[in-house]
Structure 1
């Protein structure tokens, strides 16, 4: 039994697979050349999966408007744990769209909209 070299096969996709299948059938002495190309061609017709682009999030700068400061919480309600505070007039970045009157400043970090206002002199940015 002899094995032939197929070093010159440089195409990609189903043509390479079909050529390899034909070569394997020839080496093994089989006659299934027509059967070997059909599955490879069918696989090439399948549509590629394309992921939708992720929408950019809009972030704006805000500042604290109450003398007492404002609590930073682990979730968007007063039922969540206090994980920090912002002082009066302190500026911070947060998502522009609030969740039930709470602005997300980072993963699991929220500040109420009741005691903050947007700093309009600083343009919002997209991430």
Structure 2
């Protein structure tokens, strides 16, 4: 491979890393992580982030969860992206303080967990592990 070919590959890889880094978690106020582009909601003053590959059973309707706008523009275009709301549901066997399901309908509801950092609550990890 020529020097130009390797240089182009390195530049392409660097551009990909920079675009991914634009939507990563950073340190927010209060010592908790706040992520700008992750799928997150708030319900009863708790923040929840979506968790993939969780086998769960939906419980009763709890109320309304709010999704703040994505803040990946560095403060530009503030106020253009509206706050959205969806229905929050219980997850059978887990306290709503730990996890909820969120969606327009029970069929579209997805699993969200309340956690900070990179550690999932043990109750959620058990569902992922199939216990």
TM-score normalised by structure 1 residue count:
0.21
Give the TM-score taking structure 2 as reference length: 0.21
Structure showing greater radius of gyration is 1
The structure richer in strand per residue is 2
